[in-house]
Structure 1
């Protein structure tokens, strides 16, 4: 089983973020797909970031992160906005940030 950081464009920080939501291997991530995996991050309070979202898509296709352009990028932006609207709770993210600052958040 390969670590998530073995995928093109994804490093240790991405690996750690996915570990916190129960996604531990590149195989799990591939099977789950970018949208479901990113939704898990958002539901756990990870702040949404469009570049991170499309980099994840590019990684699962083994493409350079900056290969996403034009209509493809616009379509991913629309999907990102939908995911953010339906899976991100800004209140949870704010609370998590405060708890993390105290050393007792979910990220510990």
Structure 2
């Protein structure tokens, strides 16, 4: 049995790369941490916060398809996601050079003075 993150149904290469940036490199590590704490690590390294990826992770670790999350379960996960984002302070996300993504985009297209 493969221990790659992509061996978990519903998680692909982008998830694997994002978790690797957070130091989570195996399915076993991901399962041991659990969805909420793994996503905390995901956010802490500057990966993009997105509610769908949060609840899809929860579903994947339960062996369920991402779109199986509905109703009260989804509402509860939304509260957990919002609280986690507030704790980690994900907004605005930083780039690898310490600038926000907006700053980087404005620099790239020449709409800001270079610092």
Question: Which runs of 5 or more structure 2 residues have no equivalent in the other structure?
Answer: 109-115
TM score, norm. by length of structure 1:
0.84
Change (3 A) 1:47 1:9: same
Number of aligned positions between the proteins: 100
Structure 2 residue matching 1:52: 3-state secondary structure = helix
Q: Which residue of 2 aligns with 1:106?
A: none
- On the 8 A contact 1:45/1:96 being kept in 2, the answer is no
Q: As a proportion of its length, which structure holds more helix?
A: 1
For residue 17 of structure 1, what is the aligned residue in structure 2? 18
What is the alpha-carbon root mean square deviation over aligned residues? 1.9
Alignment correspondent of 2:69: 68
TM-score with structure 2 setting the length: 0.79
> Which residue does the alignment assign to 2:112?
none
- Runs of 5+ in structure 1 lacking a partner? 103-108
- Return the offset for 1:88: 2.9
- Map Cα deviations across residues 72-107 of structure 1 (whole Å, 9 max, x no partner): 000000000000000133245252643xx99xxxxx
Q: Distance in 1 between matches of 2:92 and 2:8?
A: 32
Task: Encode CA deviations 1:16-50: one digit per residue, 9 max, x unaligned.
Answer: 10001100000000000111110111111112100
Aligned to 2:89: 88
In structure 2, what is the Cα distance between the partners aligned to 1:2 and 1:17? 16
Residues 96, 17 of structure 1: CA spacing in aligned structure 2 closer, same or farther, 3 A cutoff? farther
Larger radius of gyration: 2
3-state SS in 2 of match to 1:24: coil
